[in-house]
Amino acid sequence: MFGTISEEIEVHVPANEAWKIYGTIQLAHIVVKELPNIIHKVDILEGDGGIGSVLKVTFPPGTPLLTSHKEKFVVIDDDKRVKIAQVVEGGLLDLGFTLYKVKFEVIEKGKEICITKSTMTNKKRKTLCEYKIDHSTCTQKDL
């Protein structure tokens, strides 16, 4: 069973400036600093933040069902402003998912404005027990 969810945010900066963050490891560091309730820590295990780099993402203590995962940058396309990170160990894979990846896109909307789009795609085994998630505690800012 496949699942996909996307979020688009209008950003009032040129697309090339937004890509300087989204296309690099800087995005992970900003998320740790600005959203510590979502990501506690990010360590680079392999690489320099380019294609093939492997990161260990640690979730905040007390996060239901998740402690950490390892993800690999499998696509970084500077021309199209697209980056794809795929979980390769731990996290949702330990809960029965066979695929979990996040695609980041920066889409030019005007000279001084762009859209940042994040798309999460997952696939789970048919035998996976369903977990009840309380969406009432998740805010727009958390996404």
* Between residues 8 and 1, the one the model is more confident about: 8
What pLDDT, on a 0 to 100 scale, did the predictor assign at position 140?
40
pLDDT above 70 coverage of the chain, percent: 87
What pLDDT, on a 0 to 100 scale, did the predictor assign at position 126?
58
Alpha helices, DSSP H only, in 23-143?
26-34
Phi, psi dihedral angles at 142 (to 5 degrees)? -65, -25
Residue 117 has pLDDT above 80, yes or no: yes
Average pLDDT of the chain is 88
Q: pLDDT digits over 88-107, tens only? A: 999 999 988 899 999 999 99
User: Global pTM?
Assistant: 0.82
Q: Which of 70, 83, 101, 124 is catalytic?
A: 83
* 56 belongs to the catalytic site: no
